[in-house]
Chain A
Amino acid sequence: MNRSALTHFAGIVIVLVILAVLPHFLRYHHQDFLIFLVINILVVSSYRLVTLTGEWSLIHAVMMGVGAYGSAILSKQFNVSFWLSMPLAGVVAGSVAALLCYPLFRMTQFYFLIGSFAAGEAIRLSWIHFIKPFGGTSGVSGIPSPELGNIDFLEPIPYFYLVLIIVTLCLFLLYRVEKSRVGLTLHAVHWKAPLAESVGVNTWNYRSLAFITGSVFVGIAGALKVHYIGTVTPKQFDIGFMVFILIWVIVGGYRTFYGAIIGAIVLSILDEAFREFDELRPAIYGAILVFAILFLPAGLESLPQRLREKFGRSGAKEAG
């Protein structure tokens, strides 16, 4: 293990330790916040996998909902245990994504964006329209929480640990995928599609693969979310939430694995801090988004380097 990998590993361990003790110092309502934050980290990281091929889909929030509805219906109507319905949520979301691949990946860029938006809206409106089994606008409620020995997963702290373990595992897998041969090919498909094709890479397959894998993980995130809240509604996965995912990824920076996670953390904390300005919050978000894209196009992740360059240069000037 070389030095950078070692610091890397140490950093992750420190973050995990901090996260593990953090909820004990927080009030109830902030513990909830922390649970959703960790789930959202999985959401943005899985979205990042989809965007690796350069296609910005607008269906990711709905795919999360597909997993959430899948797990909710399985566990409530078919009495499937959480431990089975949660991974199945990933399978359900992945299968729906696989079905959508054929129409969606006939398009690229602008058309893909609009096409994915349309497909997502159609799915979401179906949840509203088909009262059975989706429950219409009010959705499905009374989703059972996980059961394991005598641990009470209705309490935030046990559920937080559950989420933390599953999300850490998923992030590890996502990271391995990105750094694998497949992940590198995804980068190639994004930046040099014709070249990749010319050396025998089937770009269609790789785009689909990224889309399906990302959907599997976000489906799991959806299941984690609704088994805690106990209710799933179409509103939770509307274009508004999709836009939040986009904002987190873009403000955080989409060029590295950590960028999106940093974006989700920083913006969620800011959002929490602005809680008292309730109705103004979307506008604050909007303004942050516009400023970020205009003045920090590479995202928050590029901030340390930009600061270093700036101060480094002024330092050099003084010396000169």
Chain B
Amino acid sequence: MELLIQSIVNGFIQSGFYALAAVGLVLIFGVMGVVNFAHGELVMVGAYTVWLLHAQYGVPFLPTILIAILLVTAIGALMEQFLFRPMRGDPLGGLICSIGVLFILQVVATVVGGDGPSKQVPPPYEGTLVLWDFLRVPYQRLFAIGVAIAALGLLWYFLTRTRLGWALRAVSQDREAASLQGINSNRISMIAICVGAAMAGLAGALMAPLTNINPHMGHNVIITAFIVTIVGGVGSLSGAVIASVLYALFHTFVTTYFNGTVATISGLLIMVLVLIIRPTGIMGHRVSE
């Protein structure tokens, strides 16, 4: 019972990270029609920034989070400007470009951090919250989930309560119709990728003290983000968030009771199953041609 509650809490905290990584992928795919394979690497760059500035040079944790977000956003903006925009209307081309970026970012990380073992960042917030004698939640994790929820809340507010957010959703629903309404779809694409990249950077920065940092950490991130995106319904942000929570709980449970590989295999199988039975995911709706 105690293990059960602990697993639920751990899974819930993990879900914040999954959701942050996945919403960016969903946003970029929704608005631009591009599968950003380098999304996991954007998260990795966020984590590396914290490792380099905070753990190596002693810059305080909070400013490094901001710097990580800005840096990753800038990378996202460059990708849109020089790669995705010329490739507009060619989803395969956009995908290939993002794979190229993936390689480049991995090598940059290797050069900056050196090869060798994974890096660790000592948690800036020490101590553990103990509830009812058995439930232990490190403050670092509480901080991470708090910030993640706040960021997702802000994103929700932006998308549903501001004119820019409406425009963004309009473009993701129908690019042509949005253009006819006078919405500059290139500008909206730029905003979408900046927001998506910022979320990825934030995810990486928040998780840096809680995970092993290496140039290839993006691989697991992108697998998770794919699973969450598909299960939630491609193009549905709320679906992605709900799927993040469900998948994180599932993954944590299977990891606790079996092991991590089994958890990922069954996650992938669930995703294939969803693709077969209900390709629109739990929150998606059928898009007419």
Contact = CB atoms under 8 A, between A and B. Distances in A.
Interface of A: 56, 103, 106-107, 109-111, 113-115, 117-119, 121-122, 125-126, 128-129, 239, 243, 246-247, 250, 279-280, 282-283, 285-290, 293-294, 297
A290 B100 contact: yes
A294 B86 contact: yes
Contacts of B87: 293-294
Given A114-B35, A282-B107, 20 more contacts: A103-B275, A106-B279, A111-B279, A113-B35, A114-B226, A115-B272, A115-B275, A118-B271, A128-B261, A129-B265, A247-B99, A250-B96, A282-B103, A285-B100, A286-B104, A288-B100, A289-B100, A290-B83, A293-B93, A293-B100
A122 B262 CA distance: 9
Given A280-B107, A289-B100, A293-B97, A122 B234 contact: no
Contacts of A114: 35, 226, 230, 271, 275
A110 B264 CA distance: 21
A279 B83 CA distance: 24
B219 interface: yes
A232 to B, nearest CB: 18
A118 B107 contact: no
A101 to B, nearest CB: 12
B97 A290 contact: yes
Those 9 A-B pairs whose CB atoms lie nearest each other, nearest first: A286-B103, A283-B107, A290-B100, A289-B100, A286-B100, A282-B103, A122-B268, A286-B104, A118-B268
B261 A243 contact: no
Interface residues of B, number: 40
Contacts of A290: 83, 96-97, 100-101
A243 B96 CA distance: 9
Contacts of B99: 243, 246-247, 286, 289
Nearest to A238: B219
A121 B107 contact: no
A280 B92 CA distance: 25
Contacts of B275: 103, 106-107, 111, 114-115, 118
Main secondary structure of the interface of B (DSSP, over half): helix
Interface string B244-282: 000000000000000001101100110110011001000
A217 to B, nearest CB: 23
B108 interface: yes
Contacts of B110: 279
Interface in B84-124: 86-87, 91-93, 95-97, 99-104, 106-108, 110-111, 115
B9 interface: no
B145 interface: no
B272 A103 contact: yes
Contacts of B106: 282-283
5 contacts: A103-B276, A106-B276, A283-B103, A286-B99, A290-B100
A177 to B, nearest CB: 23
Contacts of B52: none
B223 interface: yes
Nearest to B219: A239
Contacts of A289: 96-97, 99-100, 103
A233 B277 CA distance: 33
Contacts of A279: 107, 110-111, 115
